[in-house]
Amino acid sequence: MRSLWKGAISFGLVNIPVRLYAATERKDPRFHYLHRVCGSPVKYLKWCPYCNKEVQAKEIVWGYEYEKGQYLVFQEDELEAIPSPAPRTIVIEDFVDIREIDPVYFDKTYFLEPAEGGQRAYALLRGAMRDSGRIAVARVAIRSKESLATVRQYGEDVLAMETMFWPDEVRSAAALSVQAGDEAGEREAQMARTLVEMLSGAFDPAKYRSERRERLEEMIRAKTEGRRVETVRPPEAAKVVDLLEALKVSIAGAEGRRAREGDNQVPASERPH
The string of DSSP letters for 123-171 reads: HHHHHHHHHHT-EEEEEEEETTEEEEEEEEEETTTEEEEEEE--GGGSP
Query: DSSP alpha helices (H): ranges in the chain?
Result: 76-80, 119-132, 186-198, 211-224, 243-260
| pLDDT tens for the chain, residues 1 to 273 | 889 999 999 988 899 999 999 999 999 999 999 999 999 999 999 999 999 999 999 999 999 999 999 999 998 888 877 877 777 899 999 999 999 999 999 999 999 999 999 999 999 999 999 999 999 999 998 877 899 999 999 999 999 999 999 999 999 998 888 766 566 778 888 888 888 888 888 888 888 888 888 888 888 888 888 888 777 776 666 665 677 777 788 888 888 877 777 754 444 445 444
Any residues with CB less than 8 A from the CB of 64 and at least 6 apart, and which? 71, 72, 74
- Are 244 and 187 within 8 A, CB to CB? yes
pTM: 0.77
The three-state secondary structure class of 92 is: strand
Q: Which residues of 209-223 are buried (b: 16+ CB within 10 A; e: fewer)?
A: eeeeeeeeeeeeeee
pLDDT of residue 238: 61
- Are 84 and 140 within 8 A, CB to CB? no
Q: To the nearest 10°, report the CA torsion of 38, 41, 44, 50.
A: 0
Pairwise CA distance, residues 272 & 41, whole Å: 59
From residue 183, alpha-carbon distances to 188, 241, 273 in Å are: 10, 16, 21
The total number of residues shown for the chain amounts to: 273
Which amino acid appears at position 107 of this protein? D
- Are 140 and 89 within 8 A, CB to CB? yes
The three-state secondary structure class of 14 is: strand
Query: Which stretch of DSSP H or E encloses residue 65?
Result: strand 62-67
pLDDT of residue 17: 95
User: Domains, the chain, ranges and CATH?
Assistant: 1-167 (2.40.290.10), 186-270 (no CATH)
**CB count in 10 Å sphere of residue 102:** 8
- Are 85 and 91 within 8 A, CB to CB? yes
The string of DSSP letters for 113-127 reads: EE-TT-HHHHHHHHH
pLDDT of residue 81: 79
Pairwise CA distance, residues 172 & 81, whole Å: 32
